Amino acid sequence: MSTGIPARIPTVELHTPRLLLRPLQLSDAPQTQLLFPHWEIVKHLNPNVPWPYPPDGALTYYRDIALPAIERGDEWQWTLRLKHSPEHHIGAISLHKAKPDNRGFWLGLPWHGQGLMTEAVIAINDFWFDVLKFPVLRAPKSIGNHASRRISEKTGMRIVTTEERDFVSGRHPCEIWEITAGEWHKTRPLLKNAEQRR
């Protein structure tokens, strides 16, 4: 069934109050290799993430999986960069068209707890609903991933089902969070007011 979406909408640079979201490049792999392979980051992720993380894990993933998916128009991926130091990225966020799980992200440990990923999620949700024109966004959360669950709560998502899933850390209960385009467009003005007060 056709979604009415063009075969390929390019990933474009996005901006939040504190961040630049730049389209993923192969040259981002070395920085990812430094920041990503930490247990606190990977333990709640999909078990397809290899652990222990190999020395060429980021390069292999970007070259063989992520960038081809972007080129096909199946995914959109960005690195997160602080506006005051954009030469290095601090994490990543992605959108997935064909999967039942439409969004994923990770953030380097030094930047946790500052609200940065919430900013990124707001920009990515705008892109999903306003540019790509999808009617609903779904994201899985390990029930123990409290920080990620708070982001979903703050951005107006709701739990639609719970199931068992495998993660890097093993099999755990998983909540599936969802938001529709209509719900997002009601929530978005409230988030804009919060951004302006920051």
Residue 7's pLDDT band, with cuts at 50, 70 and 90, is: low
Percentage of the chain exceeding pLDDT 70 = 93
SS3 37: coil
Q: 159 has which bridge partners?
A: 177
- The predicted-structure confidence for 121-155, as pLDDT tens digits, reads as follows 999 999 999 999 999 999 999 999 999 999 999 99
pLDDT of residue 196: 52
- The predicted-structure confidence for 13-34, as pLDDT tens digits, reads as follows 999 999 999 999 999 999 999 9
CB 110 within 8 A of CB 48: no
The residue-averaged pLDDT of 95-117 equals 95
Mean pLDDT of the chain: 93
- Cβ within 8 Å of residue 69, ≥6 positions away: 75, 96
pLDDT of residue 8: 77
* Four-CA torsion 194, 108, 86, 83, nearest 10 degrees: 10
CB 117 within 8 A of CB 152: no
pTM score = 0.93
